[in-house]
Amino acid sequence: MNQKIGFAHWLAFLLPAGLLAGAYGSQYIGGLPPCEMCWWQRYPHFEAVALATIAFFVGNPAYRKALVALAALGILTSGLIGGFHAGVEYGWWEGLTSCTATISGTGDELLKSIMNAPLVRCDTAPWTLFGISLAGYNFLLSTGGAIAILWTIWRSKTS
């Protein structure tokens, strides 16, 4: 396999896998439940990991390159959603008007679950580092990574 395509392929696999690991780590270890737009950012990463994984088992280099490019488009999609979400968090534009909460059970358990469910707002960043929220980091890393993958694929075609 071409070294450039190999780099792009591994990046298309490791970047979304790492970002998903960070998202789930912040959720289950850091105690930051995701809002609706956080979930929207995860779905394209799942798709990218799946496509990049399938590409490892494809023998045809053209098909492998196409799967890696599709994974990069999924990563880019997540990054753009992250950029929109960050804009909502910073108050640059309005986002969703509803919030999310996880509830379960029946009868009295359901009522307790509803009353004790954490309210997760999409317009408030629960965590920042250097003034950048998790959605903002997803925007930066995903769009930058997707551009690097697509650029590498394009450059491998021209060299």
Query: For residue 25, what is the domain's CATH number?
Result: 1.20.1550
- Write down the H helix ranges in the chain: 3-28, 36-56, 61-89, 108-116, 134-158
Who contacts 86 (Cβ-Cβ below 8 Å, separation ≥6)?
A: 125, 132, 133, 135, 136, 139
pLDDT of residue 120: 74
Q: What is the pLDDT of residues 123-159, one digit of tens each?
A: 777 877 898 888 899 999 999 999 999 999 988 865 5
Q: What is the CA 80 to chain-centroid distance, rounded?
A: 10
Q: What is the pLDDT of residues 11-21, one digit of tens each?
A: 999 999 999 99
User: pTM of the full predicted structure?
Assistant: 0.80
**φ, ψ at 129 (rounded to 5°):** -135, 120
Q: What is the pLDDT of residues 83-103, one digit of tens each?
A: 998 998 888 888 765 555 555
* Length, in residues, of the chain: 159
Taking the C-alpha atoms of residue 47 and residue 31, their distance in angstroms, rounded to an integer, is 25
pLDDT of residue 6: 86
Range of the domain at 66: 3-158
pLDDT at 80 over 90: yes
Who contacts 55 (Cβ-Cβ below 8 Å, separation ≥6)?
A: 9, 12, 63, 64, 67, 68, 71
Tell me which H or E stretch contains 129. strand 128-129
Top pLDDT among 119 and 40 is at 40
Number of domains in the chain: 1
Who contacts 140 (Cβ-Cβ below 8 Å, separation ≥6)?
A: 79, 132
Give the pLDDT band of residue 110 (cuts 50, 70, 90): confident
pLDDT of residue 10: 94
Question: What is the DSSP pairing of strand 128-129 with strand 132-133?
Answer: antiparallel
Q: What is the CA 104 to chain-centroid distance, rounded?
A: 26
Q: What is the pLDDT of residues 37-75, one digit of tens each?
A: 889 999 999 999 999 999 999 989 999 999 999 999 999
